[in-house]
Amino acid sequence: MTNFSVHNEILKGQVTLITRPEAQQSSLRTAIERHGGEWLSLPLLRIVPLTGSDLQAARQHVQDLDNYDVLVFVSLNAASLGADLIADLWPQLPVQQSIIAIGKSTATLVADLLACEVICPEAGSDSEAVLAIPELQQLADKRIAIFRGQGGRELLADTLRERGARVDYIEVYRREQVQHDAVDVEAFVTPDKIDAITVHSGESLQTLAGLLGAACKSILTIPIVVPSMRVAKQAEQSGFKQVVSAHGADDASMIKALERIHSNAD
């Protein structure tokens, strides 16, 4: 299945189902292969860049980028599409802004695309982790722009407003569910074919849980890797029996969690 050189075989014999959007699976696929494992793909969501009036609303905010004290990027998609929009309107970033990213992969991408220093929590890749950093504690009269997709959790913005900040969303994409036939999924995702499942967000987990139905109960016995304790609780509430928090959505965190599952299975 792979032409990549294997660095070690810690995942040898393990087949992992990757559920994140198709365009974002490449690096995790490669990481799994390099550790001797195999993967199958079942993308649950697709990322659609905004157009028309929705995009124009984002452009208007970015035109006023120098009015913000803090920019927050919540995901890889927010980083890539947000950076494209910024580069189109600002040849050089405004000075004296704090740039913050949720998750190490997102921080790396923002730093590369915008050639700037990026603040990222050392532990955790969710809103709770970002809200704990020192730069977001004293926010009276600060203006903050959050680059994200349409919809999603309100915890980050609500808490920043409670701390005195003025917060705007700059929404640059939307998520769409990928349609799958439940019968096909049941035949495809079975404990004798899949050793672990990776889920990168609460929304993906919700989509997977909605797809299962009563006919797919055996899937709930497959170990599932999630990015945070919050999503772990969701997985447990959805009926999954073996839930492992990777404490991060980046590839390295996911691989470590898969290694733990594989070691326990031996």
Rounded CA gap, 245 and 229, in Å? 6
Query: Tell me: the pLDDT tens digits for 25-78?
Result: 999 999 999 999 999 999 999 999 999 999 999 999 999 999 999 999 999 999
Percent of the chain surpassing pLDDT 90: 76
Go through the domains of the chain in sequence order and give each one's CATH number: 15-44+180-265 (3.40.50.10090), 48-176 (3.40.50.10090)
Inform me whether the pLDDT recorded for 266 exceeds 70: no
Inform me whether the pLDDT recorded for 2 exceeds 50: no
Burial (Cβ within 10 Å: 0-12, 13-18, ≥19) of residue 219: buried
Predicted TM-score (pTM) of the model is 0.87
- State how far the alpha carbon of 12 is from the alpha carbons of 1, 75, 115, 215, in Å: 13, 30, 38, 30
Rounded CA gap, 86 and 211, in Å? 37
Query: Tell me: the pLDDT tens digits for 82-130?
Result: 999 999 999 999 988 999 999 888 999 999 999 999 999 987 788 999 9
- The answer to whether the beta carbons of residues 169 and 146 sit under 8 Å apart is yes
Query: Tell me: the pLDDT tens digits for 179-230?
Result: 888 777 877 888 899 999 999 999 999 988 888 765 567 889 999 999 999 9
Query: Is the Cα dihedral 21, 26, 30, 36 positive or negative?
Result: positive
